[in-house]
Amino acid sequence: MLLSRLGSLNALEQSRPNRGVWRRILGESGDVPSADTLARIQSQLDPDAVRDLLAGLYARLKRGKAVPPPPHGLMALVIDGHETTASYRRCCPGCLKRQIEAGSTTRTQHYHRYAVALLAGDGVELLLDLEAQQPGEDEVAAALRLLERVARRFPRAFDVVVADALYTRTAFFQRVRALGKHVLTVLKHEEWALTKEVEDLSRELPAQEMVLGAKRVRCWDVGDLPWPGYEGTVRAVRTEETGSVRRQLTKTVEETHSSWIWLTTLTPSQASTRTIAMLGHGRWTIENQGFNEAVNAWHMDHVYHHEPRAMEIMLLLVMLAFDLLHLFYDRNLKPALRRRVSLQHVGREVTANLYVASAGPRTST
């Protein structure tokens, strides 16, 4: 169902008459359970069984040297939060709650949010695991549980944890270092004292100029920064970036400017200034190649069955299907074929096989 991107259990149920395809997948009986049965079974499965499949997939790829590190040599584990569903009417024991003001009224909205981990290598991105945010806690608490499990299941898969500004906390940094990994996050003005110190110290340093992609970048690398509440020192890299964008409406090219500060435990001997900037921008991988595609093309946010364990099972299966199709396209298909057909086309071929086979033989008139 997920590889075919059918989008719902009811759509899968409608393919039950296609016994030819299902016999090849399920055996001689070829019996596909009903949508109600599949929904009920989901809440009785063990999520760790699906996690074992994801871990086994990574192990096979690693043995086949199919997950190479980027040129700078550091494998990044990108962690971010993702909200899958929100409703004013439906709720379950795992729902989080928030108050939404609309005019003069306040309504209670129920939603689910997960911390998600993506492994970023050289030309390959793998969704590895997720953890549900529980009522009464924030995203970082869920991410710490996720991080400990990922570090236990994939101890040598990554070198540095990359996250957004929400994770710029001394407790998060210390926990990552306790696991033997490094960390890199965005520093914003919420950490006002540290941000101001970085800006002041960078003015006394010469700027490094480089080109990253289509942008011209000026960098300042500030090391050995004390951080109140953190044992040890951290390093900050500040960048000012200039690029260009072509506006669709006016067809004019405009110059764009942006600035960033990244906070990290990586030393200059472990990662150059360029590497820090590349890792920092690589954080968007989980948004662009992860959530955006998984939601729009893989129905990641669809609630197949509104029950906490069932939702976790289906999200993990979406991640497995997502990884498998991407790996098939990137690692199995020849470059010449990839130049002719897109990943979207290959996904449509999977769906077409299911429906063409179910159509049966044509009759002449």
Closest to 81 (Cα-Cα) out of 157, 153, 137, 148? 137
Contact assessment for residue 277 and residue 239, using Cβ atoms and an 8 Å cutoff: yes
- Spatial distance between the Cα atoms of 110 and 91, rounded to a whole number of angstroms: 6
Q: What is the pLDDT of residues 2-18, one digit of tens each?
A: 888 888 999 888 888 87
Which pLDDT value is given to residue 216?
A: 93
Q: What is the pLDDT of residues 168-203, one digit of tens each?
A: 999 999 999 999 999 999 998 777 889 999 999 999
- Spatial distance between the Cα atoms of 300 and 290, rounded to a whole number of angstroms: 10
- Spatial distance between the Cα atoms of 131 and 222, rounded to a whole number of angstroms: 34
- Spatial distance between the Cα atoms of 111 and 100, rounded to a whole number of angstroms: 12
Q: What is the pLDDT of residues 36-68, one digit of tens each?
A: 999 999 999 999 999 999 999 999 999 999 999
Which of helix, strand or coil describes residue 280? helix
- Spatial distance between the Cα atoms of 7 and 299, rounded to a whole number of angstroms: 6
Residues of the chain with pLDDT under 50: 359, 362-365
pTM, entire model = 0.90
Closest to 282 (Cα-Cα) out of 170, 156, 177, 161? 161
The DSSP bridge partners found for residue 234 are: 225
Which pLDDT value is given to residue 133?
A: 96
Which of helix, strand or coil describes residue 136? coil
Q: What is the largest CA-CA distance in the chain?
A: 85
Query: Is the torsion defined by CA of 46, 4, 345, 297 positive or negative?
Result: negative
Q: Phi then psi for 323, rounded to 5 degrees?
A: -65, -45
Which pLDDT value is given to residue 251?
A: 81
DSSP strand pairing (160-163 vs 182-186)? parallel
DSSP strand pairing (125-132 vs 215-226)? unpaired
- Give the per-residue SS3 of 32-93: CCCHHHHHHHHCCCCHHHHHHHHHHHHHHHHHCCCCCCCCCCCCEEEEEEEEEEEECCCCCC
Output the average pLDDT for the chain.
90
Q: What DSSP line would sit under 183-223, residue for residue?
A: EEEE--TTSHHHHHHHHHHHTTSPPEEEEETTEEEEEEEEE
Token couple for 168: 């710029």
Q: Tell me which amino acid residue 34 is.
A: S
Which pLDDT value is given to residue 16?
A: 82
Q: Which residues contact 116 (CB under 8 A, 6 or more apart)?
A: 79, 80, 81, 82, 127, 129, 130, 146, 286, 290, 291
CA 232 to chain centre: 30
Neighbour count for residue 228 (Cβ, 10 Å): 8
The DSSP bridge partners found for residue 8 are: none
Tell me which DSSP letter residue 107 carries.
E
